């Protein structure tokens, strides 16, 4: 077994969990934010839904470059759109990870902005940190948003106060 197989399993579990959390976002609260400096619920959910889109770039190229002045964050207009974006990203990400040799996963990948390297590390570290840990971090934020709006939370790593059964 190579390095990628356990990661594919984990990505699949996290994708399913993420979908359950995204599915709880009420459209009537899309514009809501807990603080003036926070993202809206739709913006945060959209950022999460897009997370798996990074996988293809990480495994199929040596770098990704962004122009921060041109970048416009995606913001879903509906829950159906949000879930469709998440599902499409997952449907491409998991197969893209299949068969990645350990040697390829250990080669450095670069994230650049306006020609400057912002981050450089082995591909596997980008998959773990830049995609999966980043996703989990923001999903945790989203569960706080949902709790503050009194939306019942699904089980994530075990029972929640709203779904106590295993």
Secondary structure element (H or E) that encloses residue 15, with its range: helix 4-22
User: Tokens for 44?
Assistant: 């945060």
Query: Which pLDDT score is estimated for 164?
Result: 87
User: Tokens for 151?
Assistant: 């939306």
Q: What is the DSSP letter of 69?
A: T
Query: Which pLDDT score is estimated for 4?
Result: 97
Query: Which pLDDT score is estimated for 108?
Result: 97
d(CA 34, CA 47): 17
Digits of tens for pLDDT over the chain (166 positions)? 899 999 999 999 999 999 999 999 999 999 999 999 999 999 999 999 999 999 999 999 999 999 988 989 999 999 999 999 999 999 999 999 999 999 999 999 999 999 999 999 999 999 999 999 999 999 999 999 999 999 999 999 999 999 987 6
Q: How many degrees, rounded to 5, is the angle at CA 103 between CA 5 and CA 114?
A: 100
Structural domain spans, the chain: 4-148
Q: Are strands 108-113 and 63-66 parallel, antiparallel or unpaired?
A: parallel
Query: Which pLDDT score is estimated for 165?
Result: 77
Cα 22 to Cα 28, 82, 139, 155, distances in angstroms: 14, 8, 8, 12
Query: Which pLDDT score is estimated for 147?
Result: 98
Fold of 4-148: 1.20.120
């Amino acid at each position: 077994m190579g390095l990628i197989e356990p990661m594919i399993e984990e990505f699949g579990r996290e994708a399913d969990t993420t979908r359950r959390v995204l599915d709880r976002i009420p459209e009537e609260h899309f514009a809501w934010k807990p603080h003036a400096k926070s993202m809206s619920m739709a913006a945060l959910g959209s950022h999460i839904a897009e997370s798996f889109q990074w996988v293809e770039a990480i495994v199929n190229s040596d770098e990704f470059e962004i122009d921060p002045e041109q970048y416009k964050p995606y913001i879903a207009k509906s829950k159906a759109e949000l879930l469709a974006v998440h599902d499409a990203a997952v449907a491409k990400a998991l197969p893209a990870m299949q068969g990645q040799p350990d040697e390829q996963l250990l080669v450095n990948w670069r994230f650049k902005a306006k020609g400057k390297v912002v981050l450089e590390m082995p591909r596997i570290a980008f998959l773990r940190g830049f995609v999966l840990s980043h996703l989990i971090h923001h999903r945790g934020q989203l569960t706080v948003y949902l709790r503050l709006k009194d939306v019942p939370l699904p089980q994530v790593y075990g029972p929640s106060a709203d779904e106590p059964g295993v």
